[in-house]
Amino acid sequence: GESVGLHLPTLSVQEGDNSIINCAYSNSASDYFIWYKQESGKGPQFIIDIRSNMDKRQGQRVTVLLNKTVKHLSLQIAATQPGDSAVYFCAVSSHTGGFKTIFGAGTRPFVKA
C-alpha cells in the first residue's frame, strides 16, 4: 500500500530563518498532495496543497514543491516564527484511490529564539 514518510521527525530552526520539511511518498498514482499543521489537541489545519500537474505552489509564507520523478514533496516556511511550532504532516491522495488521504508521520519544527 501507499506509504508516506517525513525525512526528519524533528527540526531545529532559528527564528526568522526559513524552514524546509521534506516528505517522500511511494505511490506514483498519487495526484493530490497536502500539507497540514496540527497543534496539540486539535484537528489538522490545512496549509497548502498541490496537484500533480504542478511542481510549485506558493501561499502566504509557505511554498510547496513537488518532484514526481523522485516522489518527493517539500514544505518551505519563510521567516519561521514561534507560532509556527506545531506538528506538520504531509498527506497524499489519488482519485483512483477513492480520494483517501494517507498521512505521513509528522515533523515538529523547534523554533529557537
Partner 1 sequence: GAVVSQHPSWVICKSGTSVKIECRSLDFQATTMFWYRQFPKQSLMLMATSNEGSKATYEQGVEKDKFLINHASLTLSTLTVTSAHPEDSSFYICSASFGTRYEQYFGPGTRLTVT
Selected range binding partner 1 among 18-26, 62-70, 75-83, 104-112, rule: CB under 8 A: 104-112
Pick the binder of partner 1 from 69, 83, 98, 113 (CB under 8 A). Answer: 98
Residue 45 touching partner 1 (CB under 8 A)? yes
Residue 100 touching partner 1 (CB under 8 A)? yes
Pick the binder of partner 1 from 58, 81, 95, 110 (CB under 8 A). Answer: 95
Which set of grid coordinates corresponds to residue 32?
493530490
Residue 109 touching partner 1 (CB under 8 A)? no
- Least distance in Å: CB of 94 to partner 1? 9
Q: Which is nearer to partner 1, 32 or 78 (CB)?
A: 32
- Least distance in Å: CB of 104 to partner 1? 6
The CA distances from residue 33 to 28, 67, 74, in Å, are 12, 11, 10
Give the Cα separation of 24 and 88 in Å (integer). Answer: 14
Give the Cα separation of 28 and 81 in Å (integer). Answer: 34
Which residues have CB under 8 Å from 72's CB, separation 6+? Answer: 22, 23, 24, 25, 66
Which residue shows C-alpha cell 508521520?
105
Which set of grid coordinates corresponds to residue 82?
514561534
List contacts with partner 1 (CB under 8 A): 32, 36, 41-46, 49, 89, 93, 95, 98-106
